[in-house]
Structure 1
Amino acid sequence: MPDDTPQLSSLLMIALLGLPFAGFLALTGLSRLVSGKLAILSTGIGLLVSVFLAATMPEQAVTIQTDWATVSGVSFGVSFRLDVLSGLMLVVVHFVALLVQVYSLSYLHDEPKLSRYFAYLQLFIGAMLGIVLAGNLLVMYAFWELVGLASYLLIGFYAERPAASKAAKKAFLMNRVGDIGFLLGIFLTYYYFDTLEFNALLASGIQAIPPTAIGLCLFMGCVGKSAQFPLLTWLPDAMEGPTPVSALLHAATMVAAGIFLLARIHPLLSPDALVFIAVIGTTTTIWGGYSAVFQTDIKKVLAFSTVSQLGLMVAGMGTGNVGGAMFHLLTHAFFKAGLFLSAGAVIHAVNTQDMRLMGGLRKAIPTTFIAYTVCAAALAGLPFFAGFLSKEAILGGAFGWANVQTNKLAYLVPVLLVGTSGLTALYMARQWRLIFFGEYQNRSEPITHVHEPDWLMRGPVVILAVLSVWFWFALNPLSGHSSWFFRLVPVAEEAASWWLAPVSISLVLAGGWFGFQMREPSYTRSYVRLSLKYGFLDTVYQYFIIRPIHKLALLLNRTDQRVVDGVVNGAGVTTVVLAQITHVVDRFGVDGIVNSAAWLAGQAGRLTRSVQNGRVQSYITAAVVGLLVLLWWIL
């Protein structure tokens, strides 16, 4: 390898990071057609650079660092880091973003705000690249917040729709809750390790077990961004944004930021923190999976499946299986983006997102049907698909983790994770049936009008479906241990469980059969409403958080108006009255004495002046009177 490879990598890192931000500034002033092509060109160049960086990765991480600010003698730097994890994520982010932008050219061809849409996408890509390349926690947090801003703009892209504006605000605020914990974790990290640089932190984490509080606070950032329990209800509502945005933000990139964060800081997580993370991930997997079962919106089913799969990745991280979780992140990016883009093709064909108004579409849109089937099979974890390989890696690692735990309750984590395989197959088979089988139900859009989209939309869907097949990742369709991925990121040691794959496959087949045969129940039943209302989490928030805070705000407002304002107004009136009294005293008291003294002096002066009249008689009279007065005084 040439000696100048690190220097070239550093230059390409800077160019790669600056390219989407330059595109964001340029696209805002361009026409609709030019903006889309320029955005695709920018992302395509970024993909080529990313592939080159990943292919020429030095053995040691490449780091760029410079001082940013000095506060009280403490220097804070801006640093960027390129290693195996970041190189892999660079390729995934650019590849999925490129397909989404090509797809958007056709899907949003009549959108009047298309230039703004592509500009927002470039802003999001740049922010995501910043997270991937961040060399310290401070830089990561800055781009973390920028991703939140970009996602807010994209989710609320149709700002004229009240539901979209509400969903954007909900996503922004719920992510802020997690970000507060993340920021506290950064403060604690600096307090404990006296550095925020990943190079130093990873070395320190190997030498000593950090406090559990650091890991839990940093994990809060993942809870918000990756929609973990209990901050998971923003993700399905975020489907109000354009469908290509759902594929990019909520399948392959934004929600993956939390998983990437856990992979980056994993050595800093104490054993207790890892157990907590595993429990939260398992809870999220079950919660998201059940919430998807009875949804009627095609995108919300996929949204909750994303929540469930993210929970599976987080549980993998909690069980120490960084390689397995990142492998599933990679495969999930392809088949979930494929599902969202396929759903967009279905919506484009029938002009509705309600699956109850679909049915029988497999003949009308055969290419979309095949792509949807392949991606759904990968999500469900059927053999010969990529999702099976990555799921088995996580499940095997979870059983291996449980074997070494002193508390046998730890086996609940892998057992519940295996159970969610059947749950995933159940809701995907139900969705597959409602969309593509049975009788066509949409009376407002005749079946004769339903057709496949053009190849700008079909092409990305087909590519993602092809990448959801097993042979891109491993030669063995029933085991991913020989995968090239695990030569880059080692997988955790698995338990020797020959029965795991057959049990998992059996659960998937049973869940798929039951989901396909299941008929729609009454939507008033409590177990159905439990699914439709996300486990009533939003109701809990409404009653126990939002309403109490609202009532407290009203109480404080009344207190401010009646007490604080009363005191202020009373003090003002009192001051005015005292000022009037002071004015009267000053005018008739002080000024009266001064004016009276002046008047007396004037009168005395006039009287004295009258004596000095130039007449001798007056002077003799005054002298005689004065003499008489003096004699009277003496005698």
Structure 2
Amino acid sequence: MPDSAYLVPAFLLLGLPFLGFLAFWLGGRKLNKSAGYLGAALTFAGLVISILYAEPNTLHIIRFDWLVIGSLPIELSFRFDALTCVMLVVVHLVALLVQFYSVSYLHNDENLHRYFAFVQLFLFSMLGIVLSGSLLVMYIFWELVGLSSYLLIGFWYHKPRPVWAAQKAFVLNRIGDAALLTGILMLFYYIGSTDFEVLAVQTDSISSGILTSIGLCLFGGCMGKSAQFPLSGWLPDAMEGPTPVSALIHAATMVAAGIFLLARISFLLTFDARLVITIIGMITMLMGAVKAMNVWDIKRVLAYSTMSQLGLMVMAVGLGSWQTAFFHLTTHAFFKAGLFLSAGSVIHAVTPSENDPKFDPQDMRTMGGLRSALPVTFVCFVICASALAGLPFFSGFLSKDAIITEGFLWAAEYGILGYVFPIVIIFSAGLTAYYMTRQVWLVFFGEKRYQVSHAVHPHESPAIMYTPMILLAVLSLFTWFSWNPLDAASGWFLSFIGVTESEHLIWVPFVATSVTIVSIFLAYKQTTASNPFKIVSDQKELKQSFSWLNEFSNEKYFLAPFAYITNFSKLFEEKVIDAFVNFVTKASVVFAHFASWGDRNVVDGGVKLTVYSIRSAGQGVRNLQNGKIQSYFLVTVAGLFLLILWLVVI
């Protein structure tokens, strides 16, 4: 189809969710009951449009003239290609299932219309990022995604914790966004455009050092949105928002925006930039995995897991394979969204029927033995957890295997030190299998610890909640991406996004599976101990575990530099900027008084003196014209005298 044929779907894909946002926002509470279904209908329409206009083998670009700065025209461009096709389906499908789930999960909320309005605004913003044909357009929607995330995290604005979490997410994302904007402005300066097609052919005109700086600045945006060290602290706290929000934007779509950005700009990244990206990704991956092993909140475990998996995707981009990173992004979207929705089902099941301030429905230490009460949730959770742990026959195994393979191929090319990266990935995969086994056991096996509260009566969620969970669990199986459960290279997905040649190392699946099985076994051994996973251990002892890494991103190590910068900025503002402003203000006042004095006494005085002189001269002449002959005689003699004096002198 010609590019002009994609004008209508572009307007519909962006227009439908934006109209939904306006309608739900302006409709008020009278739309509470219908907003979820109407929003799902709009999202389903977008999904159908995405599938109907999917043409991955052809690039379609739509351009609009926006404005002219000097002689530089600025265009708004949107593009449809293979990446767009995949992301449109993933974003729409996850959003559709989350909205159906939310109808039941939040059915008692008085502001349900506002929730679905924010979801539609987020969908509009995320689709704008997916469709962007230039970094400028992407940045516009990038900021809108940040706003949507802030609104959804702080949806329960009457509670202090969600408000604090929303502010933290907003501030940390602004740091990354500032770096992203810097990179965009540098591209404007050196190339005069941010269009992906223009950049692809003109980046050779920029020196390697400048290009590295630009790449790292653009990566700064990814560090914020995709929660990379040291800007990762907001993601676990974002769990203060509704659980469906976590499934939608903090597991499947919004946090994936950074990886999508890296996939778009991969041709801009020099070797030095990719090396830095790989190291940052490795730190984030390990930090997230270790922290997930030591927290008790069911959602925070998944949040730290998301952070770790995003670090893995960033590492894949750094290793030069954005395709495998995008592959893992896609598989992760389904099984992590399924895990969050399943976690929400568990929380829904163990929430006390009466107010019990001593019982925390998100603390896994107050769960256990729930598999019989929640059979559907248990099966969905185990399937999605198996995919996350990287077990064979699940989608996560395929995408992780592809990244590990690329890591070893990269190491073989760049030297022995390069093997550190794929080995660390395998080690992190083992940690993932360990903490997911720990979570499954704490929630669904062992003693029924929830019985400490007589107000807890576990029950399976309604069909409108577990149906999305089942669909996401089914999408976590290997068959959707490759008929060979041990080889992603033989599947359709990598070739779909443009991988023409892919190599498979036959031993990688067996090594990775062995590490995973050993980790599961070690976790299982913990379940047979007298105090499994130290459920009743002293909290002080628990905090000391992995203290060096746990504290690496807490206030002592992470927030302290920012606090120092803040205090320095405050002093600089008070002692330099404010002092300069005060000096200029006082000097302006003094100068104004001096100018006022000069105006009154010099300017106005000169005018008054002239007037007085002329008036006095006129009065003197008028006194001589009095009709007396003596006066005329005097004037005649004086005039004759003055004339003679003038002739003598001249």
TM-score range, shorter chain: 0.7 to 0.9
Once residues 202 and 561 of structure 1 are traced to their aligned partners in structure 2, the CA distance between those partners, rounded to angstroms, is: 46
Once residues 411 and 58 of structure 1 are traced to their aligned partners in structure 2, the CA distance between those partners, rounded to angstroms, is: 35
Once residues 574 and 201 of structure 1 are traced to their aligned partners in structure 2, the CA distance between those partners, rounded to angstroms, is: 53
8 Å CA contact 1:331–1:390 kept in 2: the answer is yes
Once residues 78 and 234 of structure 1 are traced to their aligned partners in structure 2, the CA distance between those partners, rounded to angstroms, is: 31
Check 1:213–1:493 CA distance in 2 against 1; reply closer, same or farther (3 A cut). farther
8 Å CA contact 2:233–2:553 kept in 1: the answer is no
Once residues 430 and 477 of structure 1 are traced to their aligned partners in structure 2, the CA distance between those partners, rounded to angstroms, is: 25
1:560 Cα deviation from its structure 2 partner? 7.2
The one-letter amino acid of 1:384's match is F
Question: Which of 481, 500, 504 is residue 473 of structure 1 equivalent to?
Answer: 481
Q: How does 1:79-94 map to 2 (within 5 A)?
A: 79-94=77-92
Three-state SS of the structure 1 residue aligned to 2:449 is: coil
Question: Which of 392, 396, 412 is residue 403 of structure 1 equivalent to?
Answer: 412
Normalized against structure 1, the TM-score is what?
A: 0.87
Once residues 307 and 511 of structure 2 are traced to their aligned partners in structure 1, the CA distance between those partners, rounded to angstroms, is: 23
Once residues 499 and 347 of structure 1 are traced to their aligned partners in structure 2, the CA distance between those partners, rounded to angstroms, is: 41
Structure 1 residues 554-563 or 419-428, which shifts more?
554-563
1:163 Cα deviation from its structure 2 partner? 1.4
Q: How does 1:168-567 map to 2 (within 5 A)?
A: 168-204=166-202, 211-351=211-351, 352-405=361-414, 407-443=415-451, 445-446=453-454, 449-491=457-499, 497-516=505-524, 517=526, 518-520=533-535, 521-525=537-541, 527-528=544-545, 530=547, 533=550, 535-550=552-567, 552-554=569-571, 556-557=573-574, 565=582
The one-letter amino acid of 1:67's match is D
Q: How does 1:544-623 map to 2 (within 5 A)?
A: 544-550=561-567, 552-554=569-571, 556-557=573-574, 565=582, 568=585
Check 1:555–1:133 CA distance in 2 against 1; reply closer, same or farther (3 A cut). closer
Once residues 34 and 436 of structure 1 are traced to their aligned partners in structure 2, the CA distance between those partners, rounded to angstroms, is: 34
8 Å CA contact 1:293–1:531 kept in 2: the answer is no
Structure 1 residues 305-314 or 517-526, which shifts more?
517-526
**Which residue does 1:613 correspond to in 2?**
none
Once residues 417 and 275 of structure 1 are traced to their aligned partners in structure 2, the CA distance between those partners, rounded to angstroms, is: 15
Three-state SS of the structure 2 residue aligned to 1:215 is: helix
1:491 Cα deviation from its structure 2 partner? 4.4
8 Å CA contact 1:321–1:397 kept in 2: the answer is yes
1:544 Cα deviation from its structure 2 partner? 2.0
Q: Is 1:112 the equivalent of 2:110?
A: yes
Check 1:8–1:553 CA distance in 2 against 1; reply closer, same or farther (3 A cut). same
Check 1:427–1:531 CA distance in 2 against 1; reply closer, same or farther (3 A cut). farther
1:545 Cα deviation from its structure 2 partner? 1.8
1:20 Cα deviation from its structure 2 partner? 0.7
Three-state SS of the structure 2 residue aligned to 1:109 is: coil
8 Å CA contact 2:106–2:112 kept in 1: the answer is yes
The one-letter amino acid of 1:71's match is I
Residue-by-residue CA offset, 1:460-498 (whole Å, 9 max, x unaligned): 011111111111211111222221112212448666643
**Which residue does 1:614 correspond to in 2?**
none
8 Å CA contact 1:400–1:494 kept in 2: the answer is no
Q: How does 1:89-168 map to 2 (within 5 A)?
A: 89-168=87-166
The unaligned stretches of length 5 or more in structure 2 are 352-360, 527-532, 625-629, 631-650
Structure 1 residues 577-586 or 377-386, which shifts more?
577-586
8 Å CA contact 2:553–2:559 kept in 1: the answer is no
Residue-by-residue CA offset, 1:271-319 (whole Å, 9 max, x unaligned): 2222222222122111111111101111111011001111111111111
Once residues 499 and 389 of structure 2 are traced to their aligned partners in structure 1, the CA distance between those partners, rounded to angstroms, is: 22
Once residues 467 and 574 of structure 1 are traced to their aligned partners in structure 2, the CA distance between those partners, rounded to angstroms, is: 75
Once residues 129 and 290 of structure 2 are traced to their aligned partners in structure 1, the CA distance between those partners, rounded to angstroms, is: 31
Residue-by-residue CA offset, 1:360-401 (whole Å, 9 max, x unaligned): 111111111111011001000001111001110110011111
Three-state SS of the structure 2 residue aligned to 1:524 is: helix
Check 1:533–1:51 CA distance in 2 against 1; reply closer, same or farther (3 A cut). same
Once residues 441 and 367 of structure 2 are traced to their aligned partners in structure 1, the CA distance between those partners, rounded to angstroms, is: 10
Once residues 578 and 10 of structure 1 are traced to their aligned partners in structure 2, the CA distance between those partners, rounded to angstroms, is: 63
Residue-by-residue CA offset, 1:9-52 (whole Å, 9 max, x unaligned): 33212211211111111111232012222111100101111111
Once residues 516 and 292 of structure 2 are traced to their aligned partners in structure 1, the CA distance between those partners, rounded to angstroms, is: 16
Percent of matched pairs sharing the same residue: 47
Check 1:267–1:562 CA distance in 2 against 1; reply closer, same or farther (3 A cut). closer
Check 1:547–1:84 CA distance in 2 against 1; reply closer, same or farther (3 A cut). same
Once residues 577 and 320 of structure 1 are traced to their aligned partners in structure 2, the CA distance between those partners, rounded to angstroms, is: 68
Check 1:584–1:278 CA distance in 2 against 1; reply closer, same or farther (3 A cut). closer
1:269 Cα deviation from its structure 2 partner? 1.4
Once residues 497 and 560 of structure 1 are traced to their aligned partners in structure 2, the CA distance between those partners, rounded to angstroms, is: 61
1:538 Cα deviation from its structure 2 partner? 3.5
Check 1:360–1:372 CA distance in 2 against 1; reply closer, same or farther (3 A cut). same
Check 1:570–1:285 CA distance in 2 against 1; reply closer, same or farther (3 A cut). same
Once residues 229 and 179 of structure 2 are traced to their aligned partners in structure 1, the CA distance between those partners, rounded to angstroms, is: 15
**Which residue does 1:53 correspond to in 2?**
53
Once residues 580 and 260 of structure 2 are traced to their aligned partners in structure 1, the CA distance between those partners, rounded to angstroms, is: 51
1:218 Cα deviation from its structure 2 partner? 1.4
Q: When the two structures are aligned, how many residues end up with a matched partner?
A: 610
The one-letter amino acid of 2:26's match is G
Normalized against structure 2, the TM-score is what?
A: 0.85
Check 1:209–1:19 CA distance in 2 against 1; reply closer, same or farther (3 A cut). farther
Residue-by-residue CA offset, 1:237-259 (whole Å, 9 max, x unaligned): 11111100000001111011111
8 Å CA contact 1:428–1:515 kept in 2: the answer is no
Structure 1 residues 345-354 or 557-566, which shifts more?
557-566
The one-letter amino acid of 1:112's match is E
The one-letter amino acid of 1:486's match is L
8 Å CA contact 2:551–2:557 kept in 1: the answer is no
Check 1:361–1:138 CA distance in 2 against 1; reply closer, same or farther (3 A cut). same
Once residues 165 and 538 of structure 1 are traced to their aligned partners in structure 2, the CA distance between those partners, rounded to angstroms, is: 19
Three-state SS of the structure 1 residue aligned to 2:74 is: strand
1:583 Cα deviation from its structure 2 partner? 9.9
8 Å CA contact 1:384–1:478 kept in 2: the answer is yes
**Which residue does 2:638 correspond to in 1?**
none
Question: Which of 2, 8, 11 is residue 8 of structure 2 equivalent to?
Answer: 11
The one-letter amino acid of 1:236's match is P
Residue-by-residue CA offset, 1:89-128 (whole Å, 9 max, x unaligned): 0000000000000000000001111111100000100111
Once residues 564 and 192 of structure 2 are traced to their aligned partners in structure 1, the CA distance between those partners, rounded to angstroms, is: 41
Three-state SS of the structure 2 residue aligned to 1:255 is: helix
Three-state SS of the structure 2 residue aligned to 1:230 is: coil
Once residues 257 and 561 of structure 1 are traced to their aligned partners in structure 2, the CA distance between those partners, rounded to angstroms, is: 39
1:554 Cα deviation from its structure 2 partner? 4.9
The one-letter amino acid of 2:95's match is A
The unaligned stretches of length 5 or more in structure 1 are 603-607, 609-618, 620-635
Check 1:388–1:69 CA distance in 2 against 1; reply closer, same or farther (3 A cut). same
Instruction: Name the Cα RMSD after superposition.
Output: 3.5
1:200 Cα deviation from its structure 2 partner? 2.4
